[in-house]
């Protein structure tokens, strides 16, 4: 049985700007996680490693990043695990400068804009990997250049492109579009894809019975929308039956989406922190949306700071509503600026039809009260 | 909320009464400074106030007063006051009166500010000092203080309900200002955009502007990256055009290939129809010929109809020749037979028994003779004779027999030949009409008859042959194979009939086939062919070959162009990566901008709430003053009413409106009313966040004890919200109220020239 390690969209060197102050640490964590690749390959006893594009986030990565990649690939090659790489649209080989101009630790990089084949002999038999470095000026024409060689062994196609559910699908000229009907015509045993950052196993390719295609998703969460486990897939190609694909998380802390956290029943910030903390899995960064009607002036920044101190990073979205709270009823009854503020804000919030504007007015009320030192 | 402002300590080198240092206790009750007349109570109040606000030396009386405050010890007139500011921090304000230099130092930090404290100056330092003073103390103008919370001795009569009281408010509510500053600061951190549409935007960019700049930078880079693609545009256009051309050719090739099948099918069907039509014509023609020839045969046969028994065999003449010969031979043989018959009667063959009988008879004769004679010789002679005669007879018989045998053989041969001839003749005559009557004499007539018959038979034969030929042709036409002729003449008609029937069936089958083919042609429908291509297979194949060649050419050109395109590259940066980055930044920017809008909204909210709050200031001021009046006069005076401006304010006295400026009151009542106005105004300001210490110098003067008690109650209530310092010399009243002084000034302290450590006794609260 042929075992493959398939990953994509590592985006080494990405800015991780969504993580704010934690961005640098996360960049470091991503690079460290990638350095673990030879160990992962050894542990999973894979015969080859497939990297389906966007290994680097930019065409001219930092020297340290590139050196780390070259070292990891060299170790994999030394252990007899060939590495196959197709460039992505972030590190396209059609750019004047790109990371693949020099050999990269013995990895086989597909640099031709039409399909080419690299064949290797593995302990599990011959492996033929087809790939192309698409020219971002071109779109779907390259797919027609695929032809399966009449050779014994397993045939795997490695592509970085956008299926119709991928966010890049509509970009047009700068993304390789993968119409499923065109993909369905590709005669191969496994289609290793990259570009879509969510894990999509073969079973979730609606309308594509064959070949078995898979997006492993991003190697680590690159922004706050990429919640849940992120990492790589192990593909088992047997002579009989469809490939078996299993997803594994990388060591980069995942963003754990806690969904809605009701702060209505919490007495204060400490209780909110405690409630969220109880739900966070070890090593994960919590991402939560606060809802409910707290009876205290919820300070999301403060909560975020507290949780970040505890978990390394946290992201809270405040969707709670403070303005109808009993506490504000009491303040509204006062003939003070704070009372007028509450009454005025309530009127504005309640009369605002646009939910976004309503949310802004709601948050403005909290900030105004905090500025007025109403605790 | 804005914290109340408190005097905490004063170090004074001020006037004749001081230097002195005072610790002012912190508590929520009025602080009593007591002392006899001339003990310096008013000077203390003045020192506190002037330390903060200074002297306006442009005014002569102010200059005179300042000059009178120079300590007698010759020191510089100088004072420092420690206050608990509205911001909750402890500050010390030190003023050197001769040059109006002031220093504000934070006692709980390192912050120090020093500058011009001249109240009349408009320079930047003086303005800044007043701003800082307002922030710490709530007020920046001494008049505002002395017309509200600071009731210096003799100044009560100046008390008026003035618009100024409301104007003081415009700088009031310190926590609103602070709140607005806090919000503005946060907003400024986010953006340089005006938060309230006023003021100057700061130069240092906020996060929004930083993000905008970054986005703009990235967009510039994106444009550059896309510009590379623009450079490639002509080449890409060429590739695209070639690809489009290839697609068009593919389409045409597809259409042509698609059309070729139906066209060939149509062609085959049309060919089939044509074949069917030919076959149909052939069948029709064969049928017609067959009918014609069959009819001709019938006509000939009818014309030469000869009874069967009268029909001569076809070899009749040969037979006649043979018969004539046979007849001749028969004649010869019959004559031979007759001759032999005649010869056979003459030479008969003796009987075989004659010889032995003769011999025996002779021998017997001899024997008898011998016996008779008794001699043997007769017997022997008889015997020999008998032997000779017998032998002669035998020989004769043998000769006769031989001759007879020859004759018989000849006869037999003749007879046999005659028989054979008869048989042959009989055979020859077989089938010959009236054979019995055939004779040499009738031969000519028979020959003529035969000739007539032969000619008729030839006609029939020709007709039959023609019919047979037609049958073969028709059969060949029907089966496309050599057909056997009709066979016996009797069957020719049947064969012809059968073939005609088959012709009809075949014609029907062909018609059906033609109809089917036409239906199939109709079913093929119209072919959508490229313009200029005739809908015939040859033209389509020709066009197909032409387009395939063109397609190969286009493909080669496209491949070459794509190779050049690849060599051109796509620039230095990936538009996708840049777009992703821009998207992320724009999302971030949107979030920051939203946050900035939140702060703008919060700022506007506070401003609007404050404005709304302020819209009721006059009402609130009148309410506060009325409450004080009611409390202080036991409801006899009040409420204050001001339907227009505060200048026209009046007060109800026992239900009747009277002018506030000159009410028909006793001096004590008027004093109480003015105190009420001051307390009410102070309350009003306190609710607006302006909470400077309330200083009341001799409040109990002119008041009876009941009113003094009520005033004390009001002052105690006021002291819960702000510092209240009461200066009085009325020890009796204090005693009646059960209040002990907190700071007691003595006459001895007055006008002392001693050192500054002559602190007054400060009892505990």
The maximal CA–CA distance of chain A, rounded, in angstroms, is 87
Rounded Cα distance between A106 and A119, Å, is 14
The answer to whether the Cβ–Cβ distance between B576 and A175 falls below 8 Å is yes
Whole-Å CA distances, A167 to A49, A183, A195, A197, B754: 26, 18, 9, 9, 87
Q: Which pTM was predicted?
A: 0.53
Q: Which of A364, A366, A374, A375 to mutate to test the interface with B (most CBs of B within 10 A)?
A: A364
Q: Is B211 on the interface with A (CB under 8 A)?
A: no
pLDDT value at position B499?
82
pLDDT value at position A226?
93
**Where does residue B455 fall: left (phi above 0), alpha (psi -120 to 50 degrees), or beta otherwise?**
alpha
Q: Which of B234, B570, B721 to mutate to test the interface with A (most CBs of A within 10 A)?
A: B570
Residue B677: partners with Cβ closer than 8 Å, 6 or more residues away: B159, B160, B161, B625, B628, B629, B640, B660
Rounded Cα distance between B417 and B528, Å, is 95
Which two three-digit tokens encode residue B682?
A: 């102070």
Rounded Cα distance between A111 and B661, Å, is 97
The answer to whether the Cβ–Cβ distance between B572 and A367 falls below 8 Å is no
With a CB-CB cutoff of 8 Å, which residues 224-253 of chain B face chain A?
Answer: 229, 232, 236, 243
The answer to whether the Cβ–Cβ distance between A89 and B599 falls below 8 Å is no
Alpha helices in B55-146 (DSSP H): 60-68, 124-137, 142-146
With a CB-CB cutoff of 8 Å, which residues 167-186 of chain B face chain A?
Answer: 173, 175-176, 178-180, 182-183, 186
Question: Which of A17, A171, A337 lies closest to B576 in CB terms?
Answer: A171
Burial class of B696 by CB neighbour count within 10 A (0 to 12, 13 to 18, 19+): buried
The answer to whether B726 and B27 have CB atoms below 8 angstroms apart is: no
Rounded Cα distance between B330 and B335, Å, is 8
Please list every residue in chain B whose beta carbon sits closer than 8 Å to the beta carbon of residue A171: 576, 579
pLDDT value at position A9?
95
Asked if omega into A211 is within 30° of 0 (cis), the reply is: yes
Helical (H) or strand (E) element with B528: none
Sheet holding B112-116, edge to edge: B20-23, B6-13, B78-84, B90-96, B101-106, B112-116
Phi, psi for A95 (deg, rounded to 5): -75, 155
Q: What distance in Å separates residue B512's CA from the closest CA in chain A?
A: 46
Which two three-digit tokens encode residue B625?
A: 């003053």
The answer to whether the Cβ–Cβ distance between B243 and A113 falls below 8 Å is no
pLDDT value at position B484?
52
Question: Which of B570, B602, B608 lies closest to A95 in CB terms?
Answer: B570
The answer to whether the Cβ–Cβ distance between B597 and A223 falls below 8 Å is no
Please list every residue in chain A whose beta carbon sits closer than 8 Å to the beta carbon of residue B570: 92, 94-96, 135-137
The answer to whether the Cβ–Cβ distance between B577 and A18 falls below 8 Å is no
Question: Which of A17, A113, A174 lies closest to B576 in CB terms?
Answer: A174
Please list every residue in chain A whose beta carbon sits closer than 8 Å to the beta carbon of residue B604: 364
Rounded Cα distance between B131 and B102, Å, is 13
DSSP A146: -
Q: Is B685 on the interface with A (CB under 8 A)?
A: no
Q: Is A358 on the interface with B (CB under 8 A)?
A: no
The answer to whether A93 and A50 have CB atoms below 8 angstroms apart is: no
Q: Is A95 on the interface with B (CB under 8 A)?
A: yes
Rounded to 10 deg, the angle between the B705-721 and B617-633 helix axes is: 140
Alpha helices in A223-287 (DSSP H): 269-279
Q: Is B218 on the interface with A (CB under 8 A)?
A: no
Whole-Å CA distances, B609 to A222, A299, A327, A336, B173: 43, 22, 18, 9, 12
Low-confidence ranges of chain A (pLDDT < 70): 136-141, 171-174, 375
Q: What distance in Å separates residue B252's CA from the closest CA in chain A?
A: 19
Question: Which of A58, A90, A344 lies closest to B605 in CB terms?
Answer: A344
Phi, psi for A240 (deg, rounded to 5): -115, 145
Pairing of strands A255-262, B637-641: unpaired
Question: Which of A96, A97, A360 lies closest to B597 in CB terms?
Answer: A360
The maximal CA–CA distance of chain B, rounded, in angstroms, is 263
Q: What is the ipTM of this complex?
A: 0.76
The answer to whether the Cβ–Cβ distance between A17 and B580 falls below 8 Å is no
Going through B24-89 in order, the beta strands assigned E by DSSP cover 31-34, 78-84
DSSP A215: B
The answer to whether the Cβ–Cβ distance between B574 and A97 falls below 8 Å is no
Please list every residue in chain A whose beta carbon sits closer than 8 Å to the beta carbon of residue B567: none
Please list every residue in chain B whose beta carbon sits closer than 8 Å to the beta carbon of residue A356: 594
The answer to whether the Cβ–Cβ distance between A368 and B232 falls below 8 Å is no
pLDDT along chain B (765 residues), means of 10: 79 76 88 87 88 90 84 78 88 91 91 91 87 84 83 77 64 68 86 69 76 90 78 76 85 86 84 87 85 84 78 81 85 83 66 76 77 75 77 80 80 83 83 82 84 81 83 78 48 81 86 88 80 85 90 87 71 78 87 90 89 78 84 80 77 80 77 82 76 88 85 87 89 88 72 41 34
Helical (H) or strand (E) element with B743: strand B743-744
Neighbours of A330 (CB within 10 A): 11
């Amino acid at each position: 049985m042929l075992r493959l390690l398939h990953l994509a969209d590592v985006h080494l060197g990405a800015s991780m700007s969504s993580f704010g102050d934690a961005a640098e640490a996360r960049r470091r964590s991503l690079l460290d996680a990638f350095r673990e690749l030879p160990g992962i390959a050894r542990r999973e006893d894979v015969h080859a490693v497939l990297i389906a594009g966007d290994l680097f986030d930019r065409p001219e990565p930092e020297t340290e990043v590139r050196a780390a990649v070259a070292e990891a690939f060299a170790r994999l090659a030394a252990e007899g695990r060939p590495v196959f790489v197709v460039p992505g649209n972030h590190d396209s080989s059609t750019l004047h400068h790109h990371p693949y101009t020099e050999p990269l630790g013995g990895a086989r990089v597909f640099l031709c804009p039409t399909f080419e084949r690299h064949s290797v002999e593995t302990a599990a038999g011959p492996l033929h990997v087809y790939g192309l470095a698409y020219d971002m000026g071109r779109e779907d024409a390259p797919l027609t250049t695929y032809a399966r060689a009449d050779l014994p062994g397993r045939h795997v196609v490695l592509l970085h492109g956008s299926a119709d559910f991928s966010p890049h699908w509509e970009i047009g000229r700068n993304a390789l579009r993968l119409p499923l009907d065109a993909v369905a015509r590709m005669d191969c045993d496994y289609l290793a894809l990259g570009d879509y950052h969510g894990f999509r196993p073969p079973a979730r390719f609606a309308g594509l019975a064959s070949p078995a295609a898979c997006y492993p998703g991003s190697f680590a969460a690159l922004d706050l929308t990429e919640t849940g486990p992120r990492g790589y897939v192990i593909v088992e190609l047997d002579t009989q039956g469809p490939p078996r694909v299993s997803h594994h998380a990388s060591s980069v802390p995942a963003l754990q989406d806690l969904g809605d956290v009701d702060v209505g029943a919490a007495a204060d910030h400490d209780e909110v922190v405690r409630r969220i903390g109880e739900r966070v899995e070890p090593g994960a960064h919590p991402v939560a949306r606060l809802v409910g009607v707290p009876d205290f002036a919820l300070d999301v920044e403060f909560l975020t700071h507290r949780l970040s101190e505890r978990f390394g990073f946290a992201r809270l979205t405040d969707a709670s509503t403070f303005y109808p709270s009993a506490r504000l009823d009491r303040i509204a009854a006062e003939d003070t600026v704070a009372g007028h503020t509450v009454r005025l804000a309530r009127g504005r919030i309640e009369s605002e039809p646009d939910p976004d504007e309503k949310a802004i007015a709601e948050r403005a009320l909290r900030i105004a009260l905090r500025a007025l030192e109403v605790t | 909320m804005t914290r109340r402002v408190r005097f905490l300590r004063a170090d004074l080198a001020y006037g004749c009464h001081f230097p002195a240092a005072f610790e002012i206790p912190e508590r929520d009750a009025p602080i009593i400074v007591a002392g006899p007349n001339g003990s310096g109570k008013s000077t203390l109040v003045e020192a506190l106030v002037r330390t903060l606000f200074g002297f306006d030396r442009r005014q002569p009386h102010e200059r005179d007063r300042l000059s009178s405050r120079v300590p007698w010890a010759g020191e510089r007139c100088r004072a420092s006051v420690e206050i608990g500011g509205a911001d909750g921090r402890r500050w010390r304000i030190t003023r050197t009166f001769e040059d109006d230099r002031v220093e504000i130092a934070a006692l709980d930090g390192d912050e120090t500010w020093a500058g011009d404290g001249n109240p009349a100056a408009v320079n930047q330092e003086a303005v800044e000092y007043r701003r800082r003073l307002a922030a710490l103390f709530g007020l920046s103008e001494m008049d505002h203080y002395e017309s509200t919370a600071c009731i210096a001795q003799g100044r009560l009569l100046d008390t008026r309900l003035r618009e100024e009281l409301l104007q003081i408010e415009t700088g009031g509510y310190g926590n609103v200002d602070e709140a607005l500053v806090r919000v503005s600061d946060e907003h400024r951190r986010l953006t340089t955009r005006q938060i309230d549409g006023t003021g100057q935007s700061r130069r240092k960019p906020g996060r929004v502007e930083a993000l905008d700049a970054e986005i703009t930078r990235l967009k510039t880079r994106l444009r550059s990256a896309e510009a590379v693609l623009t450079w490639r545009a002509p080449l890409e256009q060429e590739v695209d055009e070639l690809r489009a051309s290839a697609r068009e050719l593919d389409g045409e090739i597809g259409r042509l290939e698609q059309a070729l099948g139906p066209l060939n099918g149509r062609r085959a069907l049309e060919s089939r129809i044509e074949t069917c039509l030919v076959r149909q014509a052939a069948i029709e023609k064969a049928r017609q010929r067959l009918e014609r020839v069959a009819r001709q045969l019938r006509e000939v046969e009818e014309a030469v109809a000869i009874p069967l028994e009268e029909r001569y065999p076809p070899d009749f003449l040969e037979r006649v020749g043979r018969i004539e010969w046979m007849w001749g031979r028969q004649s010869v043989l019959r004559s031979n037979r007759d001759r032999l018959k005649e010869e056979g009667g003459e030479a008969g063959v003796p009987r075989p028994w004659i010889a032995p009988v003769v011999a025996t008879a002779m021998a017997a004769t001899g024997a008898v003779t011998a016996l008779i004679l008794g001699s043997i010789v007769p017997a022997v002679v008889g015997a020999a004779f008998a032997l000779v005669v017998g032998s002669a007879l035998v020989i004769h018989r043998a000769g006769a027999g031989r001759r007879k045998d020859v004759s018989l053989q000849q006869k037999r041969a003749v007879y046999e030949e005659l028989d054979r001839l008869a048989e042959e003749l009989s055979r020859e005559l077989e089938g010959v009409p009236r054979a019995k009557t055939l004779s040499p004499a009738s031969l000519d007539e028979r020959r003529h008859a035969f000739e007539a018959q032969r000619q008729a038979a030839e006609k029939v034969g020709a007709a039959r042959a023609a019919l047979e030929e037609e049958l073969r042709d028709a059969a060949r036409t029907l089966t496309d194979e050599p057909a056997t002729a009709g066979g016996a003449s009797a069957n020719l008609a049947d064969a012809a009939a059968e073939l005609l029937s088959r012709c009809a069936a075949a014609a029907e089958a062909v018609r059906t086939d033609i109809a089917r083919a036409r239906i199939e042609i109709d079913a093929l429908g119209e072919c959508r062919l490229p313009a200029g291509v005739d809908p015939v297979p040859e033209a389509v194949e020709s066009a197909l070959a032409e387009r395939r060649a063109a397609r190969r050419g286009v493909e080669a050109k496209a491949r070459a162009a794509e190779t050049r395109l690849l060599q051109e590259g796509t620039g230095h940066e990936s538009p996708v990566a840049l777009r992703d980055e821009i998207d992320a930044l724009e999302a971030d920017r949107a979030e920051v901008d939203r946050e900035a809008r939140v702060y703008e909204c919060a700022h506007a909210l506070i401003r609007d709430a404050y404005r709304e709050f302020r819209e009721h200031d006059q009402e609130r001021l009148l309410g506060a003053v009325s409450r004080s009046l009611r409390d202080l006069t036991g409801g006899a005076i009040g409420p204050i009413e001001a339907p227009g401006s505060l200048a026209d304010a009046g007060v109800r006295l026992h239900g009747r409106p009277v002018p506030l400026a000159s009410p028909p009151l006793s001096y004590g009542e008027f004093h109480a009313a003015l105190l009420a106005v001051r307390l009410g105004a102070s309350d009003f300001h306190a609710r607006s966040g302006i909470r400077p210490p309330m200083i009341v110098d001799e409040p109990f003067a002119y008041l009876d004890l009941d009113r003094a008690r009520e005033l004390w109650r009001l002052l105690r209530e006021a002291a819960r919200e702000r510092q209240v310092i009461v200066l009085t010399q009325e020890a009796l009243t204090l005693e009646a109220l059960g209040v002990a002084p907190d700071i007691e000034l003595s006459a001895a302290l007055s006008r002392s020239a001693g050192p500054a450590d002559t602190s007054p006794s400060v009892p505990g609260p």
